[in-house]
Structure 1
């Protein structure tokens, strides 16, 4: 089983309206062949509408969509070189696993023997060789998911579309199946567009993440870029939790900015930071808590929750309430304990808004 190599995707100033409501505002996006790009965002942000337009299930109000360099903007779904893995898997319960995978091939008028051979190869590729005669009900949720992926991939699409593919699985199985999907995508080299609202899932599977907000791209980049250098408080809080704290940028020095929060001065990445009032996004695990010192950034424990391998604290400070994740489970900082707050070198970024 091979996939087309030229599976690039281009959205060129795409706009989508439903009556007077604008769901997508002038979306421009380029997805490189052989990459897995995730559309991430809260409910109603436009990610599913974007995927449906790529699949041909919706048509843009204006703008163009190109797949492999071909303009497919107004082509129906069955004339686009894409396959979709749905949230519900959409397997036929009365058909065997092999029959489910063969179905799409036979619908495309392929010879029965060739279709069966390709379907068996597809099941082998997703680690389900020997499962062909079972019914979907005899498989686990993760195995059903892999059947749905195999059924889509045997059609050799330029682009594989995955719509919330893990939402029906429990948390532990979700972790395992997302790893399997990522390994499969990297091994076979197909282009994938993946929709989810789960930030951890997006970080785990993506070459690039496109975060959407109100029908537009809020920020895009690698998982590390979005986590370590969020452009806004929305991104900082959506891609992992963050404390948004007011600060003063004192000066920039060799790609680093020196900031002051309350009485604490700290160095953070900030080549283009300008002196003056600003905000920083501080990850909960980037905050240290020590015995109170008069000259440092003071705080008082408001709430503590022991969670086995870490303790979560809410700390009252003059910069607001901070959420802190502390790996030091052996100590017991109880409510009303005064502490001195510090910052780790990593996990802090200056944000625009």
Structure 2
């Protein structure tokens, strides 16, 4: 017996969800496509609509208007029990009085499958998540990471078209989160699963996703690959939300096709113009794209600043620098030659890590 995967697509067409006779809009005219075999993360701050979106895929909520398709089938008004999806909950929702194998087999047995067959499939599911020898234990005898893997196995044995994961790592400590997210990603790719993953953790989203849909104020702010969102944020909100970013004002003084020459406090860089014309623009600058120099080299730079804070974090120095364009947060890997707080420095910018953004 081998667990099967039937990766399905997910399509939202102009979906809106309101509560209280339209007084509160949780989702506002949202459209997106998730392709079979993709892991797509819904990312955003609290209250942005990401969890409501996941619950509508699951059938736990229904749209006010619009259409939802799973695997090419219109499921807009179908209840959760009639949808071919499985969800991994934030709380794991394991039954404490049942053994691990009984927990994993639960969905199969309540659907009418014979106990012996259900347990065989459950043990196979536990093998997939590296817990083949843990079937006879109680959940209380497992670590948090192991309990999370049991919850994933319980979802997988139902052989869903779409696997839904709602903040699956939020109950784990930081080091364990990194380990388990890698396991989830490896398993998703190995089985070719379609997965929709909800988190508010930007690093987690960058680490596990094929694509990220960033939501804000009930709408999609931007969607794309992790690299696209990090290196080409469309707005100040995206730049600030996906990783750290310094938002500074620059001046476009020349255009050359798709490129723009930009002056930032006297330092000049060439960036993709992204629809911006001549004049004042907002520039997102990643902390590791700022170059600090003191001494003679720093004196030759047009943009100068003063280091107000210098912090050693083992693998890098973190600096706060006050300058003409504002306060800059800087990450510098040169830990063997730190710059002292109070030092005057010259400021330059790397070829990558800067982007023109809108102010929204």
Deviation at 1:329, TM superposition (A): 1.5
Deviation (angstroms), 1:255: 4.0
Offset of 1:272 from its aligned partner?
A: 4.2
Q: Which residue of 2 aligns with 1:320?
A: 326
Question: Take 2:54 and 2:171, find their aligned partners in 1: how far apart are those partners?
Answer: 19
State whether structure 2 residue 40 is matched by structure 1 residue 37: yes
Measured after TM superposition, the shift of residue 274 of structure 1 is 2.4
CA deviations over 1:282-336 (Å, ceiling 9, x no partner): 0000001002315521111111111112111111111111111111122242232
Residue 248 of structure 1 corresponds to 251
**Hey, what does 2:15 align to over in structure 1?**
14
Distance 2:276 2:326 in 1: 23
1:69 aligns with 2:72: yes
Equivalent residues in 2 for 1:1-353, closer than 5 Å: 1-5=3-7, 7-19=8-20, 20-253=23-256, 255-270=258-273, 272-291=275-294, 292-293=298-299, 295-353=301-359
Residue range with higher mean Cα deviation, 233-242 or 126-135: 126-135
Alignment RMSD: 1.2
Distance 1:271 1:252 in 2: 11
Name the SS of the counterpart of 1:121 in structure 2.
Answer: helix
Q: Aligned to 1:259, what secondary structure does the other structure show?
A: strand
Moved over 6 A (4+): none
Contiguous gaps of at least 5 residues in structure 1: none
Provide, for residues 216-271 of structure 1, a one-character-per-residue CA deviation record: whole Å limited to 9, x for no partner: 00000000000000000100010000001111112233643221111111122336
SS of the equivalent of 2:150 reads helix
Stretch deviating more after TM superposition (196-205 or 129-138): 129-138
Q: Distance in 1 between matches of 2:176 and 2:342?
A: 40
Structure-1-length-normalised TM-score: 0.97
Moved more, 265-274 or 193-202: 265-274
Pick closer, same or farther for the CA change 1:96–1:321 going to 2, 3 Å. same
**Distance in 2 of aligned mates of 1:294 and 1:195:** 48
CA distance in 1, matches of 2:58, 2:332: 44
Aligned residues: 352
Shift of 1:59: 1.1
SS at match of 2:299: coil
Contact 2:301-2:347 at 8 Å conserved across structures:
no
Looking at structure 2, the residues matched to 93 and 16 of structure 1 have their Cα atoms a distance apart, in angstroms, of 35
* CA distance in structure 2 between the partners assigned to 1:295 and 1:182 by the alignment: 44
Contact 1:254 1:271 (8 Å CA) reproduced: no
